Protein backbone atom coordinates (compact mmCIF):
# COMPACT_ATOMS: atom_id res chain seq x y z
CA UNK A 1 0.00 0.00 0.00
CA UNK A 2 1.50 3.34 -1.03
CA UNK A 3 1.86 6.44 1.14
CA UNK A 4 -0.96 8.38 -0.56
CA UNK A 5 -3.38 5.51 0.07
CA UNK A 6 -2.31 5.29 3.72
CA UNK A 7 -2.71 9.06 4.12
CA UNK A 8 -6.17 8.94 2.59
CA UNK A 9 -7.32 6.14 4.87
CA UNK A 10 -5.84 7.82 7.96
CA UNK A 11 -7.51 11.14 7.12
CA UNK A 12 -10.87 9.50 6.52
CA UNK A 13 -10.64 7.48 9.75
CA UNK A 14 -9.78 10.55 11.84
CA UNK A 15 -12.56 12.62 10.26
CA UNK A 16 -15.10 9.85 10.73
CA UNK A 17 -14.23 9.06 14.35
CA UNK A 18 -13.88 12.65 15.52
CA UNK A 19 -17.15 13.74 13.95
CA UNK A 20 -18.98 10.72 15.40
CA UNK A 21 -17.60 11.28 18.90
CA UNK A 22 -18.03 15.06 18.93
CA UNK A 23 -20.64 16.20 21.45
CA UNK A 24 -23.80 17.75 20.10
CA UNK A 25 -23.02 21.10 21.75
CA UNK A 26 -19.61 21.45 20.10
CA UNK A 27 -18.94 25.10 19.36
CA UNK A 28 -17.58 26.40 16.09
CA UNK A 29 -14.58 28.07 17.67
CA UNK A 30 -13.58 31.25 15.89
CA UNK A 31 -15.41 30.61 12.62
CA UNK A 32 -18.61 32.15 13.95
CA UNK A 33 -16.72 35.24 15.11
CA UNK A 34 -15.52 35.96 11.60
CA UNK A 35 -17.56 37.81 9.03
CA UNK A 36 -17.17 37.99 5.30
CA UNK A 37 -18.37 41.59 5.37
CA UNK A 38 -17.24 44.81 6.99
CA UNK A 39 -19.50 47.27 8.80
CA UNK A 40 -20.56 48.76 5.45
CA UNK A 41 -21.63 45.43 4.03
CA UNK A 42 -18.59 45.12 1.75
CA UNK A 43 -16.58 41.92 1.37
CA UNK A 44 -13.49 42.41 3.55
CA UNK A 45 -10.74 39.91 2.83
CA UNK A 46 -8.11 42.14 4.37
CA UNK A 47 -9.70 41.61 7.78
CA UNK A 48 -9.94 37.85 7.17
CA UNK A 49 -6.31 37.46 6.14
CA UNK A 50 -5.21 39.65 9.04
CA UNK A 51 -6.98 37.18 11.33
CA UNK A 52 -5.37 34.18 9.61
CA UNK A 53 -3.17 34.49 6.49
CA UNK A 54 -4.20 30.95 5.46
CA UNK A 55 -7.73 32.18 4.71
CA UNK A 56 -8.07 32.62 0.95
CA UNK A 57 -11.77 32.11 0.21
CA UNK A 58 -15.22 31.88 1.78
CA UNK A 59 -17.86 29.25 0.94
CA UNK A 60 -21.62 29.72 1.27
CA UNK A 61 -24.40 27.25 0.44
CA UNK A 62 -27.95 28.57 0.94
CA UNK A 63 -30.27 26.55 3.19
CA UNK A 64 -27.36 24.81 4.91
CA UNK A 65 -24.99 25.82 7.70
CA UNK A 66 -22.10 26.02 5.26
CA UNK A 67 -20.95 29.63 5.59
CA UNK A 68 -17.23 29.53 6.42
CA UNK A 69 -13.76 30.67 5.44
CA UNK A 70 -11.63 28.27 3.41
CA UNK A 71 -8.02 27.84 4.48
CA UNK A 72 -4.93 26.20 3.03
CA UNK A 73 -1.73 25.50 4.95
CA UNK A 74 1.73 24.66 3.65
CA UNK A 75 1.24 21.35 5.52
CA UNK A 76 -1.45 19.04 4.12
CA UNK A 77 -4.33 18.24 6.51
CA UNK A 78 -2.98 20.77 9.03
CA UNK A 79 -6.53 21.97 9.64
CA UNK A 80 -8.00 18.51 10.03
CA UNK A 81 -7.89 18.95 13.80
CA UNK A 82 -7.23 22.68 14.05
CA UNK A 83 -9.71 25.53 14.00
CA UNK A 84 -9.40 28.72 11.99
CA UNK A 85 -7.85 30.49 14.98
CA UNK A 86 -5.16 27.79 15.23
CA UNK A 87 -6.60 26.11 18.33
CA UNK A 88 -6.76 22.33 18.43
CA UNK A 89 -10.05 20.45 18.41
CA UNK A 90 -13.45 20.50 16.84
CA UNK A 91 -14.81 21.27 14.38
CA UNK A 92 -11.54 21.85 12.54
CA UNK A 93 -11.65 24.16 9.54
CA UNK A 94 -12.87 23.99 5.97
CA UNK A 95 -9.70 23.48 3.98
CA UNK A 96 -7.93 22.41 0.80
CA UNK A 97 -4.57 20.71 0.35
CA UNK A 98 -1.51 21.90 -1.57
CA UNK A 99 -2.33 19.81 -4.64
CA UNK A 100 -4.90 22.50 -5.44
CA UNK A 101 -4.12 26.07 -6.35
CA UNK A 102 -6.03 28.84 -4.57
CA UNK A 103 -7.50 30.19 -7.80
CA UNK A 104 -10.42 27.78 -8.33
CA UNK A 105 -9.13 27.36 -11.87
CA UNK A 106 -8.11 23.72 -11.38
CA UNK A 107 -10.35 21.15 -13.01
CA UNK A 108 -11.31 19.92 -9.54
CA UNK A 109 -10.76 21.71 -6.23
CA UNK A 110 -11.37 19.35 -3.31
CA UNK A 111 -12.57 21.00 -0.10
CA UNK A 112 -12.62 19.05 3.18
CA UNK A 113 -14.70 19.50 6.32
CA UNK A 114 -15.82 17.39 9.28
CA UNK A 115 -19.25 15.79 9.45
CA UNK A 116 -20.24 17.32 12.80
CA UNK A 117 -23.26 15.97 14.66
CA UNK A 118 -24.56 19.49 15.34
CA UNK A 119 -24.49 20.15 11.56
CA UNK A 120 -21.62 22.66 11.78
CA UNK A 121 -18.60 22.40 9.44
CA UNK A 122 -19.79 20.07 6.66
CA UNK A 123 -22.37 18.23 8.76
CA UNK A 124 -25.28 19.92 6.99
CA UNK A 125 -24.06 18.69 3.59
CA UNK A 126 -25.93 15.50 4.38
CA UNK A 127 -29.14 17.38 3.67
CA UNK A 128 -28.27 16.61 0.05
CA UNK A 129 -28.81 12.92 0.84
CA UNK A 130 -32.51 13.62 0.50
CA UNK A 131 -33.81 13.72 -3.06
CA UNK A 132 -36.23 16.57 -2.38
CA UNK A 133 -33.51 18.77 -0.88
CA UNK A 134 -31.14 17.96 -3.74
CA UNK A 135 -33.83 18.79 -6.30
CA UNK A 136 -34.64 22.14 -4.70
CA UNK A 137 -31.12 23.31 -3.82
CA UNK A 138 -28.32 23.68 -6.34
CA UNK A 139 -26.59 27.00 -5.66
CA UNK A 140 -23.17 27.49 -4.09
CA UNK A 141 -21.01 30.62 -3.86
CA UNK A 142 -17.28 30.94 -3.24
CA UNK A 143 -15.96 34.41 -2.43
CA UNK A 144 -12.35 35.40 -3.03
CA UNK A 145 -10.46 38.67 -2.70
CA UNK A 146 -11.21 39.46 -6.35
CA UNK A 147 -14.83 38.42 -6.71
CA UNK A 148 -17.41 35.71 -6.23
CA UNK A 149 -17.68 32.42 -8.13
CA UNK A 150 -21.09 30.85 -8.62
CA UNK A 151 -21.59 27.09 -8.83
CA UNK A 152 -24.30 24.59 -9.61
CA UNK A 153 -24.38 21.48 -7.41
CA UNK A 154 -25.04 18.60 -9.79
CA UNK A 155 -24.00 15.32 -8.14
CA UNK A 156 -23.63 13.54 -4.81
CA UNK A 157 -21.58 10.37 -4.49
CA UNK A 158 -20.65 7.88 -1.78
CA UNK A 159 -16.92 7.55 -2.47
CA UNK A 160 -14.04 5.57 -0.99
CA UNK A 161 -11.60 6.96 1.58
CA UNK A 162 -8.86 7.24 -1.06
CA UNK A 163 -7.50 10.69 -1.82
CA UNK A 164 -9.59 11.98 -4.72
CA UNK A 165 -6.83 13.81 -6.56
CA UNK A 166 -4.47 10.85 -6.23
CA UNK A 167 -7.08 8.65 -7.88
CA UNK A 168 -8.00 11.34 -10.43
CA UNK A 169 -4.90 13.50 -11.11
CA UNK A 170 -5.61 17.05 -12.23
CA UNK A 171 -3.26 17.21 -15.19
CA UNK A 172 -4.52 14.22 -17.17
CA UNK A 173 -7.53 14.76 -19.41
CA UNK A 174 -8.28 11.05 -19.23
CA UNK A 175 -8.39 11.12 -15.42
CA UNK A 176 -10.57 14.25 -15.47
CA UNK A 177 -12.98 12.47 -17.78
CA UNK A 178 -12.92 9.45 -15.46
CA UNK A 179 -13.91 11.71 -12.58
CA UNK A 180 -16.78 13.15 -14.61
CA UNK A 181 -17.93 9.62 -15.39
CA UNK A 182 -17.77 8.76 -11.69
CA UNK A 183 -20.07 11.69 -10.85
CA UNK A 184 -22.67 10.06 -13.10
CA UNK A 185 -22.23 6.37 -12.29
CA UNK A 186 -20.98 6.43 -8.69
CA UNK A 187 -17.95 4.80 -7.15
CA UNK A 188 -17.00 1.26 -8.19
CA UNK A 189 -20.32 0.76 -9.96
CA UNK A 190 -22.28 1.34 -6.76
CA UNK A 191 -24.50 3.90 -8.47
CA UNK A 192 -24.58 7.65 -8.04
CA UNK A 193 -26.69 8.94 -5.16
CA UNK A 194 -28.10 11.94 -7.03
CA UNK A 195 -27.38 13.55 -10.39
CA UNK A 196 -29.03 16.67 -11.77
CA UNK A 197 -30.60 15.97 -15.13
CA UNK A 198 -29.52 18.12 -18.04
CA UNK A 199 -26.16 19.20 -16.59
CA UNK A 200 -23.31 18.77 -19.05
CA UNK A 201 -19.80 18.59 -17.59
CA UNK A 202 -16.63 18.76 -19.69
CA UNK A 203 -12.95 18.40 -18.85
CA UNK A 204 -12.57 22.14 -19.51
CA UNK A 205 -14.99 22.94 -16.68
CA UNK A 206 -13.94 23.97 -13.18
CA UNK A 207 -15.40 21.79 -10.43
CA UNK A 208 -15.45 21.96 -6.65
CA UNK A 209 -15.85 18.72 -4.71
CA UNK A 210 -16.89 18.98 -1.08
CA UNK A 211 -15.77 15.94 0.92
CA UNK A 212 -16.95 14.86 4.34
CA UNK A 213 -17.28 11.61 6.25
CA UNK A 214 -20.10 9.24 7.04
CA UNK A 215 -20.35 6.75 9.90
CA UNK A 216 -18.46 4.13 7.85
CA UNK A 217 -14.78 5.15 7.83
CA UNK A 218 -14.28 3.35 4.51
CA UNK A 219 -16.29 5.95 2.65
CA UNK A 220 -16.82 9.68 2.20
CA UNK A 221 -19.79 11.72 1.05
CA UNK A 222 -19.08 14.00 -1.89
CA UNK A 223 -21.11 16.99 -3.04
CA UNK A 224 -19.88 18.07 -6.46
CA UNK A 225 -20.50 21.43 -8.13
CA UNK A 226 -19.71 23.05 -11.48
CA UNK A 227 -18.51 26.63 -11.80
CA UNK A 228 -21.09 28.66 -13.73
CA UNK A 229 -19.91 32.26 -13.39
CA UNK A 230 -17.70 34.89 -11.81
CA UNK A 231 -18.53 38.43 -10.75
CA UNK A 232 -15.95 40.98 -9.74
CA UNK A 233 -16.68 43.18 -6.75
| Tens-digit pLDDT profile for residues 112-161 | 999 998 999 999 999 999 999 999 999 999 999 999 999 999 999 999 98
Q: Which residue has the higher pLDDT, 30 or 190?
A: 190
- Bridge pairing between strands 194-195 and 147-160: antiparallel
Give the model's pLDDT for residue 19: 41
pTM of the model: 0.86
Show the domains of the chain with their CATH numbers: 3-232 (2.40.260.10)
Stated as kind and residue range, the H or E segment containing 164 is helix 164-167
Q: What percent of the chain clears pLDDT 90, i.e. is strictly above it?
A: 78
Residues 6+ apart with CB under 8 A from 10: none
**What is the mean predicted confidence (pLDDT) over 84-113?**
96
The mean pLDDT of the chain is 88
Statement: residue 9 has pLDDT above 50: no
Assess whether pLDDT exceeds 90 at residue 40: yes
Instruction: Kindly report which listed range (12-26, 65-79, 167-181, 190-204) carries the lowest average pLDDT score.
Output: 12-26
Spatial neighbors of 93 by CB under 8 A, at least 6 apart, are: 31, 68, 69, 71, 79, 82, 83, 84, 113
Q: What is the pLDDT of residue 216?
A: 87
Amino acid sequence: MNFKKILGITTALVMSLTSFLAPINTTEASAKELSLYDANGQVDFEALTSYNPDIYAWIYIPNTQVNYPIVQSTVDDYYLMKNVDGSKGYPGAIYTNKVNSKTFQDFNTVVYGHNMRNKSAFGSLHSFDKQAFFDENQDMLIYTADGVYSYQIFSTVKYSNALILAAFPLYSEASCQSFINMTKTGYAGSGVEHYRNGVEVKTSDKLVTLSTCISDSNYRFLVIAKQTGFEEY
